Amino acid sequence: MSPDHTTTTAVLPDSAGFLPPGLLSRLESSGPRYTSYPTADRFVEAHGPEQHMRALAQRAAGVGGLTGSGAPLSVYVHVPFCESLCYYCACNKIITKHHERGGEYLQLLDAEIRMWTQALGPRQGVTQLHLGGGSPTFLSDTELTQMTERLKAAFEWLPGIEASIEVDPRTVNEARLAHLKQLGFNRLSLGIQDFDERVQQAVHRVQSYGQVEALMKSARELGFQSINLDLICGLPLQTTTSFQRTLEQVIELRPERIALYAYAHLPQRFKAQRRIHSVDIPLPEVRLQMHAQAIAAFLEAGYEHIGMDHFALPSDALAQAKRQGRLHRNFQGYTVQPDGDLIGLGVSAISRVGASYCQNAKTIEEYRDALEQGQWPVVRGITLSRDDLVRRATIMALMCQGRLDFQALADAHLIDPRKYFAAELEALQNHAEQGLVTISEQAVEITALGWFFVRSIAAVFDRFLQLEGAREKFSKII
């Protein structure tokens, strides 16, 4: 067992001058990441294909939702396949080496795409496309070509589209990257998690620093606009010393964006995590120390904090959008795209249409059965109430702009925010005393320090989190 596992107290670094001692530990709790509100755990099976078709009809008619029929769309495609199992993973995935399953899956995706175009009309404009998984690069180059050609035929890829794909560094080389660029992808997200070999072996995902360095060099030579690296804090066998080396290596690679997630060990929910030995997981105070290390390292290296666990170089579009108040948030996380509807394609994918969310079946068998019967593969969702809409606007304003303007909220929803949220504003006084927000007659504003705790601030306005045990479903806020 490493020395870090026997540490009973941790001194949190404050070399960047932003982190009061003990603040991280005082505010540690679990909570949603708010890629939607209400969050997906609030979806119900009573919201199925019929409710989904009603929302689509309202969009097509330009009524009944927050966006009209001409508003640009975002498209997410879920590719669930992976060749090997990463023990930390909580994604909806299928582990297989049978690559012929990719071609079969594309036929199902094609059927779902046809249903969307029939419901909304052909050639709807798209400003954001994201391929996630699983591992989209499980598909062959030919299959990726077939998928993108089908998407381009069904939707109009508007000028300036942000087309991104999640890449497993173990499954691509320079030639494959060149093919992705030729298909129209301009952004990459590489799942790194940690560069320490012992940690990689403990989570069953081994990839060398040199391999990632070579891929990033190739991607930049090919002209990809932005590269994101995913890291996870709190993995088995991580120590403050080993994680510091990973941080230094990441900074040396200089990705445009960095996503730093806290590992949530929930083996009762995610079977793969049962292969991780609980004794190897860093103690909470050590994980907090590593998180603080990362914040200090990224700020010192010139990255800007976007919100929650996301960092970007000042020249990146995400950082520019935050400075200009144009930041938005959807199921892909922070985005520069305007707030609007999202088409989710594939197993477990979530869509947003106006004032409703819906989620596809989580297994290929259920997904296939619905499509073969000519039915939407929707199995659950939610239609937002008036209160949900008010709280969604409030939470997204805080998460994205860092400011809740009372007059703007009053004008948009015909309420008196100070009365409507009287209890929440009272509860927020604790955050104000910690220096995380300021509360005036005009607005709630998140301070520079408060941006690092924005999930905790937003959660104050989440009606569902007040339910007993609700927080236990989520990862740690810090």
Q: Which residues are annotated as a binding site?
A: 76, 82, 86, 88-90, 133, 166, 193, 205, 230, 264, 350
> Residue 476 carries which DSSP code?
B
Strands of 388-464, DSSP E? 403-405, 437-439, 443-446
Q: List, in order, residues 6 or more apart from 297 with CB less than 8 Å away.
A: 244, 247, 248, 251
Beta bridge partners, 125, equal 156
Strands of 325-377, DSSP E? 328-330, 333-335, 342-345, 350-353, 356-360
Please list, residue by residue across 389-426, b when 16 or more beta carbons sit within 10 angstroms of its beta carbon and e when fewer do: ebbbbbbbbbbbbbbbbbeebeeebebebeebbeebbe
Please list, residue by residue across 117-135, b when 16 or more beta carbons sit within 10 angstroms of its beta carbon and e when fewer do: eebbeeebebbbbbbbbbb
Q: Are 165 and 148 in contact (CB under 8 A)?
A: no
**Bind-site residues for [4Fe-4S] cluster:** 82, 86, 89
**Closest by Cα among 6, 8, 20, 9 to 292:** 20
Residues 8, 14, 18, 20, CA torsion sign: positive
**Bind-site residues for S-adenosyl-L-methionine:** 76, 88-90, 133, 166, 193, 205, 230, 264, 350
Tokens of 180: 């992705």
